[in-house]
Structure formats: structure tokens, C-alpha cells
Structure 1
Amino acid sequence: MGSTVARQVVRILADARVRRAYAVPGESFLDLFDALHTEPRMTVVSTRHEAGAAFMAEADAKLRGTPALALAGRGPGASNLAIGVHTAHQDETPMIVLLGQVASANLGSDALQEVDLAAMYQPLAKWTRQASSADEVPGLVLEALRVATTGRKGPAVLAVPSDFWTARVDSPKPEPEREVRPGGVRRLAAEIGKLVDDSRYPAVIAGGGVREARSALIEVAEHLGFAVYNAFSRQDAFPEDHSHYAGHLGPGVSDDQLIALQQADLVLALGTRLDEVTTRNYRFPAATQPLVMVGGVRPGPRRRGLTFHVDADIGEFLTELRVAASPRKRNLVVASQAVRDFMTPPPRGRSGPVHPADVVRTLRELAPDDTIVANDAGNFAAFVHRYWCFTRPRTQLGPCNGAMGYAVPAALAAKLAEPQRTVVAMVGDGGALMTGQEVETAVRHRAPIVVVVFQNGLYGAIAMHQARVHGRLSSVAVGTIDFASWARGLGAAGYTVNDLEELEPALASALVRQRPCVIDVRTDPDVLSPDTRLSQMLRPADPDG
């Protein structure tokens, strides 16, 4: 007799270099859990919530470039997992999701926790299936791996009835399909090289797909005179201290930083889907600007104008383009100065609530250059994006879909994947209260991450929108939390920073401790963003409502 479906699936995943599975244990995949336990190449990380599991798997895969595994049970568990799967889909992160389903005999009977999981996840994932027989499960897992890692990368979701895991499959383990790359990279590069030669002001938008081709991009930018922008939350794609760096296409960037993109007569989008934030609400590239999209991502439906799609490995394409196009020098002093001015923090604050810029600046001065920064969503993140200055590869983990609660789980996954590196989570108080309990998971796995909580007592982004539109706030207050005591209750070290003088000693201590640390920084609630003060937007109360 052959081995069980569970054991075959685990071997397939391990052979594909999947190294960690993240899950809240569930009864609908007991046998898969047991098979994972006996596979020496894989580690199971038991999380405190399925959202944390999904964020961990997404961050693990984003950092390593190979899929990680997220598991959830039927109904409630699968619903909890959905936020991280959506994050992986929008971030183009390869991820395998296996969902436990009710027993096959009970399908369609409105059984306990039964949901049509394939239909539920269809708009949230790149690929969804539900196995209809036990013997097709190994082949479906192979298909999921192929889909997740080719073209536009993303999450592949497979629902498996609980009784299928113990079935024995007589057929040998299927071999993975070999990927066939589109041919003619040299010919395609030669054609694009002509466009580059004909242009005067070529610009590049670098996305997450460039991570494995970063060195090639730097060489090509210097050789061909490209101005390079980093896509939203992809600030480690191209070094932000490089003379050809033109800026980060995130919220709040100055108009001066957009000049090189506005005047571009050719735009190359490398490994990015050109999302709403990166394109400034689909303003760039304009219809009059020829666009070349390189990688598996195709132009979206709102794109107008001349567009070329090069479905090729980005590194190979850049290597050929460097040869095909004519070298040139380009003066980018104005663009570089605009970036430097924008990224220069304001003067250090004095006593009282800490300015968020001082938190980022001080931590950047103390932490190693290759520190991995997992930043959450929220207004505080604008200070991270603006003032950190990402210079090394694979140093940023951030959700481009704006999912709160990402940073703490992501930091833990990064530390498990690369234990030799310093890993910092930066999170607001609202996000910390969503998934911060994964600090206990970090304690259990002896993963010494540093969690910096920007506590301003507000859902800052919503407060800013309310103040701007209505001149007053409604239901955005977050109660004052003693995060240091909370951290100690979870087994971590806890610090409280109320004043700028306390900031550097707390950060310096946390960075060298060999245990998870949480630093509760009480930041000024009036400082909503680098350029916005809450007090300037609030209007006097109207006695008539």
C-alpha cells in the first residue's frame, strides 16, 4: 500500500523548499499536522490566531522568495485566515493555503462549520480548488505550487475534506511540472533597448519582483541613466541612498519627488502590478508615457496608452538590456536632492510625548544596516516610510493592502526564517491590539524580536480623515494600554517610554537582549503624520450639532 495523502503532501511541500507551516491547530487536518511533525525539513508554528498564521506565512514567503504554508480549519478558522491571504494576493506573494473541510460524506448537507471554501476564497487568491477525491490531492498541491510561483505570484488555496488525509494513495508521488520560461529574452531586450535609446528621460518603478534582481537593476540604472522609484512598501527594491534613486511612491510624497516621473518619456515597471497607491490613483504612468511591464504581472484594466509586456525573468532581462541599449550618463542631482530633503527628519523633540520621527531616527541609528523592518498599516507608518532609509536588500516587510495587525506576526516569521538578523516590528497601538498576542508565540519559539508600539491613543488614519472632512472625531479613541506589563504577562521584556530622554536607552537595551521585547512609546497624538497636525484640522464645536 502507498503512503497516506498527508505524508505525500508533506513530502511534496518539503521538496519544494517550504520550510514552515503556520496554523492554529484544528481537528479537520489532524493527520496533516501529524505528518508535518515527522518531517525533519519542516517546522510547525502554532499561532494564537489564524490571522497571525496567515501574516506569518505571507512574510516568510515574501522574505525568502519561496512559498510558506498556512493552515486553517473549516468555517471560522478559514474566515479568520482570509485577511492574510488577501494581503498575499495584493502583495504578489507566493503562498500555499490548505484548508480543512468537513468530511466528504457530509459535503452539501450544511454540516457543522461547512462553507464553500473555494468559492469564498476565489476573489482573495490567485487559485482556489476543493479536492473531490483523495487520490487527486497530491497533484492539486503540485498545481498549487506551480501557480503560486509563476506569472504574477500569489496565494493558492486548496480545501481538503478531513477524511482524505488518511487515505492511502497507491500511485507514486507525482513529479513537479517543469517550468518552461518564455523564450527570446535577448530578442525582447533588444526591442526594448531601442525604446530606451530613443528616450531622453527613462524612469523605472521597482516592485517586489525585483528583489532577486536587485544587483542587476543597480548596474543597469547606472549604465543606462535610469531614474528609479520604489513601489509602495517596496523600499528595499532599490537602495534609497543611491544617486539614481528618485523616491518612494507611497502616500504623502512631495511633488518635487514626482518630477522625474512626470517628465519620463519611457517607464519600465519591474515586478510590480502598479497598484493604486504606487500610481498616485492611476495617474502614472500617463497615457502619453510608453510603459514596459517586465515580469509576470500584466497591465490593469485602467491602463491607457502604449504598453509592452515582457514575460521573462527580470534579472535575465536586465542583463540583456544592459548589453542591448547604449550607455549614457544622466544628471539626477535635482531628484536626489528632493529625496534627501524629504527624508531628513525634523529637529529632535524636547520633553513630553515623543515625536514619531524621533523613534524612527533613533532606532535607525542604533540598529544594524541589514535590520529587517516589519511595519504595520496606519498613519504612524508614514514616519517609517519617510525616515528609515532602506539601503540593504530584503529589509522591509509591509502590507500594500493596508492590513492592520501585520507587523508583529511578520517580524516573528522573519526572525524564524533568518535568525541571525535583527528584526523589528513597528506597529501602532490599534494594530498591536489586533495580533500582538503573537508575542507569546515569539517567546515560545525563542525568537528575540523587538516590537515598537507607537501609542498615541487613536486610530490615527481615521482620525485624520474625520478631522479633515468633519472637523471632529468620532469613535477613534484607543484606551491607554500598559503594553510593557502586557508584554511581561506574555513572557517578553517590557519597556515604557514617556519622554525623549528615555527613548535611546530603551531601544539600545532591547536590541541586545536575547528575548522578545516590547517598547511602549507614548507618542504625541497631535502629530498624525509628518506634515499633519490634528489640532490644525479640528474645528470648534458647533452648539447646534
Structure 2
Amino acid sequence: MPDATHPDTRRSAAALLVDCLAEQGCERIFTVPGESFLAVLDALPEWPDIDVVTCRQEGGVAFMACADGAMNAAGSGRPGIAFVTRGPGATNASIGVHVAHQDSQPMILFVGDVARGMQGREGFQEVDFPAFFAPICKWAARIDDSARIPEYVARAYATAINGRPGPVVLALPEDMLTEHVPASLAPRPFVARAAQAACPDALSTLFDLIADAASPVAIIGGAGWNAKAREYFQTFATRIGLPVATAFRRQDAIAPASPVYAGNLGYGPNPKLVERVKNADLIIAVGARLGEATTDGYTVPTLEHPGQLLVHIHPDPEELGRVYRTDLALCCGVDEFAECAALWEDQNLIPFDAGAEAHREWLEWATPGPSDAAIDLAACVAAMRETLPADTIIANGAGNFAGWWHRYWRYDAFPGQLAPTCGAMGYGVPAAVAAALRYPERTVVAVAGDGDFLMNGQELATAMQYGANLIVVVVDNGAYGTIRMHQEREYPGRVSATTLANPDFAALGTAYGGWSARAETTDQFIAALAEARNRIGLRLIHVKTDLERIAASGATISGLRERASAKGS
């Protein structure tokens, strides 16, 4: 490393950039190398404490960084870090930026850019990155002055982790990176998340509302949720018997064994939970944005019938009152709120019975029933619960296949669920690789549909290169199942563009150097899972399922078609 004690010593701007990352606690970088940031690649070996993970496609890079930021958010709060090259590298990576934005996860994407003298001429692979990324991130900028690298990096970290966490994109002109700067130009100090205390007066008002309520419900999980928020909110909700639902794909926000856990909202929720939320006279949303998926198209809660009130606790003031009428808004850290709520003394508050009732309803909903299917995914998930450790991390992308895990898996650990709330396909495998590297002592399972897997399955090569231990379950029904489901609802019997001809996924797993098995029955899956559990490294189970059984809710292709046809006639 450069000797800053000699003022005449100079080093590259790229070396300064990496030094700034190290100062901010960066432990791992995900990348596909590019010529536009060769100077950074040259500087990285000088910082051996930063692990560099070379991926196979920039979408995988960004998904891994997003997942890494999500896991860090549960504890240290540091953002995931990614480096990609200009043009197609950046546009490929944009999917992960979008996921990090909608999921409120801290992430920083560095993009190698054209030289400053080429800007504005539509040079080779040139894109105006601040303009391109601005709608899907918290801040997008270009570092044109190498002397300002410490400023930009510190601001990027502060922006990514504060308020509503999210992604930041910084473009790095390649000629700027090769400039030489004084060794005395030092990184800015470590940036910590700013404290956001809850207002005591607002808390007092909240407890008055709870005391007056007959049927309150909490919806939790989202921006800034961490281990502290989980522990304290669970203590608070259990003490007063408050039913707790988790927002879409935030099921690890509370322990499923909690006596007040009511299940998850989103796609395919328990109908009894939906009715409970609709009929609640007080909704307490903590961390959740109350986005489209969580609210079923902004219909749950409705906030239309008289007497239904909304309390919204969120670290970003711009989210409060943004979509829903908000009767009481608290702008504060969700962990700070949860701690205050758990320690709050209120003698007038009588515990509710509804929490225990809601938990019983969820247990009934989340317990598999009998099935005559050759391979019953509900039974397969139940077998996973019996076979794998309770702190297993489940990572999935988008597709109906995920519904079986959302319904029947118990997300005991925190972090224990890596799943994109924006519904991006191809997320599961890269996220699982990131999880296996972040938590090598834990079991990690990637669950992917056939279409979902083929969008980023090449990152199994990354898993093998870095010795990641993970199990991959590929659910193969020969179709883009979610779209087929909607197709049958809207245009029954008119199948178009949703059928897939797939490879032998088990053979593909073997080709990557892993252990593989094929399962066409529940018993075969259980046997393959037991074998996988006793091995290490990459293990892939190719699960062949019947397209007819299209969703964990019990929906079938024939049933959807019949109902849609009857409705049309």
C-alpha cells in the first residue's frame, strides 16, 4: 500500500478508490471484469482483505451484491458492492439495481465509464449513466475529479444505508482512474447509519390507538429491518397479543414460532389473513412500503370503511402518506421504534386474543394436506423442514414455484429469506451463491423454476470456482408457469409463448462439477434430499412436476380454464 507519510508519494486514483472502500468496511466485491476499470482490478490485490468474486454475467453480479446488501442489512448494515463495465455491462446489471431499489436494500454499483474526453460523443458503449439509473436508484453520479473520490464514496455509503436503504450508482471514467493523486489524500472516516429515534409523543398516541382498538393488525418487514427490530417487535407484539403479518417476501421479519405470527401477505396468502386485514380497525405498518404485492393491488387494506386507521412507521419521510392516507406517521428507524415499543409501559392496555387466533389460522393454512400428485411440492417442502437445519437460508427468484416455499417453509432464521419483492426472475441462484459465501457455516438452498433458473443458472460456475456449498432445487414444469396461469385466466385454452423445451437440469448440474439427482415422485425427492444433505459443494435436484398443478393455492390449469370459459360465456 502507498506510504502516506511521504507527501511526494503518489498513487493512482483507482488505488485511492479501493482504499476508500476498505475504510468503509468493504469485505467483498462482485464483478465481471471490464477494460473500463482495469486500474481498479490492478489495485485490488493490494487489499487482500477484500474478497473479489468473479461472476459470469453482470445480472448475476448485481443480484449477488443486492443479496449481500440484504444480508448485511440484517446485521452490519453495509451495502453490497458491485463493479461492472460500461454499456452492456451496466445495462445487464440494471436489473439488480431495480431489485435493490424496490426491496429497499443497500447496494453500490460502480460502473467503468468512457474517458472524459469521449463523453457526449456516443463513444464506444457510452451511456449517460446518471440519467439512465436515476429513476431506479437513490443517487446516480459520475466522479470526474479524482480528488473528490473520498467525498463521493462516503456519500454513496451514507445514501445507501440511511433513511430507506437502497442502491447508489457511481460512474468511473477510465482516464480518471489512472490519474495520480497524492498519497496524503485520505479516505473519509467510516460512515455509520444515522440514528432515528421514535418520537415519544407519537408513541403515546400509538398506544392510545391500540388501547381503543378492537381488531388491530401489524404488517412488518422492509426498510432497515434488522435483528434488533425482529427481537424487540416480536417481544412487543407477543406481550399485547397483536396479530403480525409479514409484508411480501419478508417472512423472516418475525420468528414463525411466535405465538402471534399470522402469516404473509402478497401473492397467494391465507384468505383468512386477508379478511383479518380488511376488517381490522387499526393497521400498524412497520418498515413496509405497503407496495402493490403486499396490498394485492392496493386493496388490502382498503382504508375505505369508516373507522379503519393506519399507523405507518418508516425511516423515510417520503414514504409516509405516499400512497395511503396515513392517520399517524412516525419517521424513525424501525429498530429504534421496536425497542421503544417493547419497553413502553401502558397500564391501560389489555392484551388481545386475536394474535393467538391468527397464529392458529396460519398453522392450519401452512400445514400440508393429503395429495394424489406424483410429486407433491407441499410434502417436499415439509420434508425439507424435517431434513435441513432451522437456520437454512432459502433463496428464490420469481414464479409460481416459490409459492410452495412461501406457504409451507418456516423462515426461522434471520436473515433466512432472499427473494425479490419486485418479482425479478433469475435472482435465486446468484443470491444463494452470495449467501453461501457470506454464511459458509449455514445451509443455503436456491429454489428456482425452469424458466427462472435458465436466466442466471450460469452462476453455478461461480459457485464451483469459489467452493460455495449450496443445494439447488430446480422445479421444472416445462412452462413459464405464472404467465400460463394468467393466460388461462384471461384467454382460456389459447396457449401462446409460454411452453418451454428444457435441458436435462441434472446433467447440467453434473456438467458444472456438482452432484445431481432427478426426482419425479415425492419419495424420490425425499431420498435425493437426504443424499444431498450428506454431501458438500454444489448439489442440484431436478424436480419434474405436472403443469396442471400450477399454484400452491390449489389452482389447476383445468380449473382456471373452466372458470374463465364459464365466465366468458
Please report the TM-score for the alignment, with normalisation by the length of structure 2.
Answer: 0.90
Shift of residue 454 of structure 1?
0.2
Aligned residue runs from structure 1 range 102-501, under 5 A: 102-170=114-182, 171-176=185-190, 180-182=194-196, 185-208=199-222, 209-212=224-227, 213-287=229-303, 288-297=307-316, 298-299=318-319, 303-322=323-342, 323-326=344-347, 327-332=349-354, 333-349=356-372, 352=374, 354-472=375-493, 473-501=495-523
Pick the aligned partner of 1:3 from 8, 11, 33: 11
Unmatched runs of 5 consecutive residues or more in structure 1 = none
Secondary structure at the aligned position of 1:135 is classed as helix
Secondary structure at the aligned position of 1:204 is classed as strand
Contact 2:274 2:300 in 1 (8 A): no
In 2, Cα distance between equivalents of 1:211 and 1:348 = 38
In 2, Cα distance between equivalents of 1:307 and 1:7 = 51
Q: Which amino acid aligns with 1:217?
A: F
- Offset from partner CA, 1:320-353 (integer Å, 9 cap, x none): 2231444432112432232122111122546x4x
Q: Which amino acid aligns with 2:61?
A: A
Secondary structure at the aligned position of 1:236 is classed as helix
Q: Which amino acid aligns with 2:443?
A: T
Shift of residue 180 of structure 1?
4.5
In 2, Cα distance between equivalents of 1:535 and 1:407 = 29
In 2, Cα distance between equivalents of 1:337 and 1:198 = 24
In 2, Cα distance between equivalents of 1:182 and 1:537 = 48
In 2, Cα distance between equivalents of 1:48 and 1:172 = 33
Shift of residue 523 of structure 1?
1.0
Could you say if the C-alpha distance between residues 421 and 182 of structure 1 is closer, same or farther in structure 2, counting changes exceeding 3 Å?
Answer: closer
In 2, Cα distance between equivalents of 1:446 and 1:274 = 39
- Offset from partner CA, 1:159-207 (integer Å, 9 cap, x none): 1101111222333323356655345644442333333333333321111
- Offset from partner CA, 1:10-35 (integer Å, 9 cap, x none): 22222322211111111111111222
In 2, Cα distance between equivalents of 1:88 and 1:306 = 25
**Which residue does 2:3 correspond to in 1?**
none
Q: Which amino acid aligns with 1:256?
A: K
Q: Which amino acid aligns with 1:299?
A: E
Could you say if the C-alpha distance between residues 43 and 179 of structure 1 is closer, same or farther in structure 2, counting changes exceeding 3 Å?
Answer: closer
Number of residue pairs the alignment of both structures matches? 539
Shift of residue 500 of structure 1?
2.3
Q: Which amino acid aligns with 1:211?
A: N
Secondary structure at the aligned position of 1:374 is classed as strand
- State, as a whole percentage, how many aligned pairs show the same letter: 37
Contact 2:108 2:160 in 1 (8 A): yes
Pick the aligned partner of 2:535 from 499, 513, 537: 513
Unmatched runs of 5 consecutive residues or more in structure 2 = 1-8
Secondary structure at the aligned position of 1:478 is classed as coil
Q: Which amino acid aligns with 2:226?
A: R
Aligned residue runs from structure 1 range 79-94, under 5 A: 79-94=91-106
Q: Which amino acid aligns with 1:425?
A: A
Shift of residue 422 of structure 1?
0.2
In 1, Cα distance between equivalents of 2:199 and 2:22 = 31
Could you say if the C-alpha distance between residues 177 and 252 of structure 1 is closer, same or farther in structure 2, counting changes exceeding 3 Å?
Answer: closer
**Which residue does 1:532 correspond to in 2?**
555
Q: Which amino acid aligns with 1:316?
A: E
Could you say if the C-alpha distance between residues 146 and 435 of structure 1 is closer, same or farther in structure 2, counting changes exceeding 3 Å?
Answer: same
CA RMSD of aligned residues (A): 2.0
In 2, Cα distance between equivalents of 1:318 and 1:361 = 32
- Offset from partner CA, 1:268-297 (integer Å, 9 cap, x none): 211111111111211234435332222314
- Offset from partner CA, 1:472-529 (integer Å, 9 cap, x none): 2111111132011111111111211122221111111112211101110101111100
Could you say if the C-alpha distance between residues 100 and 189 of structure 1 is closer, same or farther in structure 2, counting changes exceeding 3 Å?
Answer: same
